[in-house]
Chain A
Amino acid sequence: MATNLPFEGPDARPGLYVHVPFCLAKCPYCAFHSVTDTGLLGEYAAALFSEMEKAAGAFAFRDFDTVYLGGGTPSLLPPGVVEAILSRAARLFGLHPGASVTLEANPGTVDRKRLAAFRAAGVNRVNFGVQSFRDENLRFLGRIHSADEARRALSAARDAGFTSPGLDLMYGLPGQDIDAWLSDLSEAVSHAPGHISAYILSFEEGTRLSRDRDAGRLKPATEERQAELFAATHEFLAERGFLHYEVSNFAAGPGSISRHNTKYWNGAPYLGLGPSAHSYDGRSRWWNAELPGYLAAAREGRLPVSGREEPSRPERILEALFLGLRQSSGIDPAAFTSAFGPRAFSILAPAFSRLADEGLLSLSDGRYRPTVSGMLVADGMARHLAGILEEEGR
């Protein structure tokens, strides 16, 4: 069931990410940048268009083969604005034929007509933040929509021509057992999604949930429970033909894999537009200011870039390790060697073997791929390997 993704790397075609920082309500678990003042939508759109003009002059990205409108809640954008973004992207940078264009949607913000309009604007992939088909879970997660609205949105998407919409789910909620989760997951599968992102609930710093946890108001699932749920998720979806191609991502088939997100994990270049969006050109990473600074930059007629870094070699190695080990495609010794040299690989080879002996990696088709239990400790493996390289490489 291992999937082979082409190793993309810095020479791959770039992706375009557009961050839409508006939400009708802030979810208590979310640490992504968003605001609830939708009155700023117009000014935001104008600023985005001006950023696109400037970025096209400043950066070398051309011929995007993926576009991803993320957020926030991109489905709050009027379809006309989405159309304008995509047509500008095509005009200023170029869109590769067959580019995948994804829109993230909150089920509470769309109907068939609106979805059809997005489709007409050029969106060919839609991904719903469903999170759960149980109303009590949705309330706990502070979602603005009900389970029924999610069901209606999925069916509306199909009616609008999105044949296999994707959906996001959350599990590992306090008190949730395997049966409760699998019944939720089972309903998700019954809607025949093309893609499922299933996230273990995490407690991000600065969120209300993490405050509730610290104050003892809620008890997170134990690590043991999370591991059981993770294994059960894998098993359940694998039996139903889903490819577990990244820690939290499952595709109904190789064609449904998120080509855009895969770029982040494989070191491909991407341009991020909009407040707090991140970019990578194969060498440097840079990022934009959040909304107030972003709008100010537009008013002053400059790019909203607020930070930049060029990762050092050890940093790039750590990135390659932790991103590679998140994916079923794992780490390709040949690609690793060509990127970082034979010595680095030869230092790591015994450690890879050890991880394989422990059942965390498997060597297949010449690649070190995380097993299911390996995926769940991908960060640990990456730190472990980077640590070995640091010790030995001195």
Chain B
Amino acid sequence: MEHIRNFSIIAHIDHGKSTLADRLIQAVGLVSDRDFRDQILDSMDIERERGITIKSQTVCLPYRAADGRDYQLNLIDTPGHADFTYEVSRALASCEGVLLVVDASQGVEAQTLANLYLAMEHNLAVVPVINKIDLPSADIERTTKQIEEDLGLDPESVIAVSAKEGINIPAVFEAVVKHLPPPAGDPAAPLKALIFDSHYDAFRGTIVHFRVFEGTLAAGDRIMFMNTGAVHKVEEVGIFKIVRVKKDRISAGEVGYMIAGIKTVSDTRCGDTITLKDRPADAPLPGFRDAKPVVFSSIYPVASDDYESLAEALDKLKLNDASLTYEKDSSAALGFGFRCGFLGLLHLEVVQERLEREYDLSLILTAPSVSYKLDMRSGETITVDNPALYPDPSQIERSHEPYIKASIIVPDRYMGAVMKLCLDRRGINKGYQYLTADRMEMVFELPLADVIYDFYDKLKSVTQGYGSFDYEIIGYRESSLVKVDILINGERVDALSQLVHKDYAVARARHACEKLKEEIPRQMFKIAIQGAIGGNIISRETVSPFRKDVTAKCYGGDITRKRKLLEKQKKGKKRMKMVGSVEIPQSAFLAVLKTDDD
């Protein structure tokens, strides 16, 4: 156990976490330089493109240190986005230490801080690493100062590297060996292993990633998940060296995988404790919670024929994504689809992109909604995340909506802009502190609904890209909710309904009507677009009909060409949805979700 180190790399998005991980993997020779693809750990296209890690992976790095001894360094990769805070916390709970990566030109940002707090909560040793020192804009001195002042870490322990150029990588290995403690635990004690991730393998089923704290897990053991109570027989255990390497057993202090005939990843819970059925531990490891979706949207195929394909695609995604939830949904306007739950807006976007890209589906998503709690006059409390299921308002006594605590780090010159943005979003300022002479952390409590609407984009634009943001959900608060409907030629388009705070109703309805007017092409008839709360019209736009839609000349007998032209024009409408007698393009549904570019 003396020769094991379990560690994660944590960083603000884009500070080079995955690049550093790749460099470490490459340095120990786990993959040949020839086979090396940038960012080994980010295996999904979307992860590569966006430069974020969504699905964490683990790898065991064999390392011979300067002291001549061989070490086993277990690098536990973590997802890099605020939506996945819980998953990050479970990965960190499996470590004794972290490398905290800070971009030499960007400095400390909101997630750097949030990640450091998480690491501190888990009592982890922290080695600060300044990355991207090769960039012309790198400022090692200033970044070191931030690490000392903002983070309270020892400036002497800072390692300055360029993961991209492979500069100073050996120092990172030595720091892991020297400054991170080895794990502890008794291999003979009753088994306590923490599940920090799982992934789906088409041949073997669910591969569970775990860290053993006490005891030993071996092939053939009968295990139990302490929080769900499920029992399985272990078929295989092993460690990750990019590929799975089978072992007889995994003991206290080690990190590995388990195959146990578990069909889908949803049958495992991140954060659950594995113990032996016949010799259970007295209590599970602390910190387990069910990661619940907080953002909801309905997904419909543009072509109703694609419903089955969408169902299959979701089933497949779900194999590897326990936090995605979905159930059948149907809309008068859009036909059959699915009501889906996500951990956050980014999770939603990733799922949408994967469905469209990997499964070649063309989709319409409804406006993302949070989950509201409604106290009914009847005395019962119901939960509603779908405007279509919003009950008769006269039966609602009170409504409640989820709030978050947001930490925003900005250069102080943007303080006013951020303050205005958050207050406009019904935010409550809970304080601020200067991190350095000109950078500050501002803390707000905000309704989650306001954050999922367009908060990220707005924050970026008001801080010219310098603002960074992290959040956690803190519970429900009383709200004043209305349902805004959109009517097209007097017909309610259910898929365009939104639940919003009453203060936003008129603005939201107006916005939706304006966007629809821009997107719905002129047609044979006048189209009235209205926003309404119940029977009360609160906004209105009109799409005027075509005045001229005919070719002037039709003689010489070439009927074929004219007919083909009409057919081509008609085909252009195939991507439209008929709502009553009005053709609405897919883009119109999407445009309603977008905010103005101001």
Contacts and interface: CB of A to CB of B under 8 A. Distances in A.
Is the pairing of A and B real? yes
Interface of A: 17, 19, 32, 70, 199-202, 223-224, 226-227, 230, 247-248, 261, 264-265, 270, 272, 277-280, 285, 287, 309, 311, 315, 318-319, 322-323, 326, 354-355, 358, 360, 373, 375-384, 386-387, 391
A199 B554 contact: no
Given A247-B552, A387-B570, A280 B547 contact: no
Interface of B: 523-525, 545-560, 562-563, 566-567, 569-570, 573, 578, 581
Nearest to A261: B555
A173 to B, nearest CB: 13
A204 to B, nearest CB: 9
A277 B563 contact: no
Contacts of B558: 278, 287
A360 B526 CA distance: 12
Contacts of B557: 17, 264, 270, 272, 277-280
Nearest to A199: B552
Contacts of B547: 223-224, 226-227, 373, 376-377
Contacts of B559: 264, 278, 280, 285, 319, 323
Contact of A247 (B550, B563, B581): B550
Contact of A355 (B524, B546, B548, B578): B524
Nearest to A380: B549
17 contacts: A32-B556, A70-B556, A199-B553, A224-B547, A277-B557, A278-B557, A279-B557, A318-B563, A322-B562, A323-B554, A377-B549, A378-B549, A379-B550, A379-B569, A380-B549, A380-B550, A381-B524
Contacts of A309: 560
Nearest to A387: B570
Q: Which of B552, B554, B563 is packed against the most chain A CB atoms within 10 Å?
A: B552
Contacts, number: 113
Contacts of B523: 380, 384
A201 B553 CA distance: 9
Given A277-B557, A319-B563, A377-B546, A386 B570 contact: yes
Contact of A17 (B551, B553, B556): B556
A318 B567 CA distance: 8
Given A272-B557, A322-B562, 20 more contacts: A17-B556, A199-B553, A200-B552, A202-B551, A264-B557, A272-B556, A277-B557, A278-B558, A285-B560, A287-B558, A311-B560, A315-B567, A354-B525, A375-B550, A377-B524, A377-B547, A377-B550, A378-B549, A379-B550, A379-B551
A197 to B, nearest CB: 8
Contacts of A70: 555-556
Contacts of A384: 523-524
Q: Which of B524, B557, B563 is packed against the most chain A CB atoms within 10 Å?
A: B557
A322 B552 contact: no
Contacts of B546: 223, 377, 380
A221 to B, nearest CB: 10
Contact of A387 (B550, B553, B560, B573): B573
A391 B556 contact: no
Contacts of A224: 547
Nearest to A321: B566
A373 B524 CA distance: 11
A223 B559 CA distance: 25
B553 A322 contact: no
A230 B560 contact: no
B548 A226 contact: yes
Contacts of A311: 560, 563
A66 B581 CA distance: 42
A106 to B, nearest CB: 16
Contacts of A319: 559, 563
Contacts of B562: 322
Contact of B566 (A17, A202, A377, A382): A382
B563 A265 contact: no
Which are the 3 A-B pairs with shortest beta-carbon distances? A380-B549, A227-B547, A278-B557
A251 to B, nearest CB: 14
A382 B569 CA distance: 11
A264 B555 contact: yes
Contacts of B555: 70, 261, 264
A358 B560 contact: no
Contacts of B554: 247, 264-265, 323, 326
A373 B525 CA distance: 12
A360 B556 CA distance: 27
B554 to A, nearest CB: 6
A345 B557 CA distance: 26
A376 B545 CA distance: 12
Contacts of B566: 318, 322, 379, 382-383, 386
